[in-house]
Amino acid sequence: MQITPSILNADFARLGAEIARIPSADWIHVDVMDNHFVPNLTFGASMVEALARATETPLDAHLMIEDADRHAPAYVEAGCASVTFHVEAAKAPIRLAREIRAKGARASMALKPATPIEPYEDMLAELDMVLLMTVEPGFGGQRFLDLVLPKIRRTRTLLDSYGVQAWLQVDGGVSLETIGRCAEAGADVFVAGSAVYSADDPDAMVNALRDRAAEASSTA
């Protein structure tokens, strides 16, 4: 069980210090938004490069941007250890996943809540991670969509049936109240933004979330 706090809910004026508050995090989740694919604007490759210099915790870039085929490789070059592109924004997702891997990062494919996994099952072996959005992408602090839970289960079944070792990540509304349901359904990597950074002790929340997920997974 891995916890990947999103800095979308952190204080943008002091991101280095905000990352230092969560030393137990497995990854740092960086939400890159272009105000076109989603109605919000956040970071670019230059900011990501600066963040990579400020922490030894690996960066997990989630690209909510148009023309992912052209822009995604730049985030590997900026220092990200994992780069996630939205399949809805990729014209050649297999080629893009292979390019990200060839540059030395983990390749991940994200799907919006209404995008089914089944049309992409033949390319699962090309991926290191599948990200299922449990809210509509674009803003932090949204309520978890339980309707995605069956898709988490179907994706886990597909990964297992093909013998694919890819991680299964969920992002959106993850908290102590919802993470257990995600873990029970088969997720093993969890993005949590507001749950972490609204806590009095963000690092303690990281550990509490991991423990809750592990407990739910062991009893599934």
Confirm if 198 and 18 have CB atoms less than 8 A apart.
Answer: no
**Six-digit token string for 58:** 């690996």
What are the backbone angles phi and psi of residue 167, rounded to the nearest 5°?
-75, 155
C-alpha–C-alpha distance, residues 72 and 201, integer Å: 33
Q: What's the token pair of residue 220?
A: 């599934």
In the residue annotation, 201 being an active-site residue is answered as no
Chain centroid, CA 71 distance in Å: 17
Say if CB 128 and CB 108 are below 8 A apart.
Answer: yes
Residue 69 annotated as catalytic: no
First-to-last CA distance in the chain?
14
Catalytic residue among 69, 171, 200, 203: 171
Catalytic residue among 31, 34, 60, 188: 31
Catalytic residue IDs: 31, 171
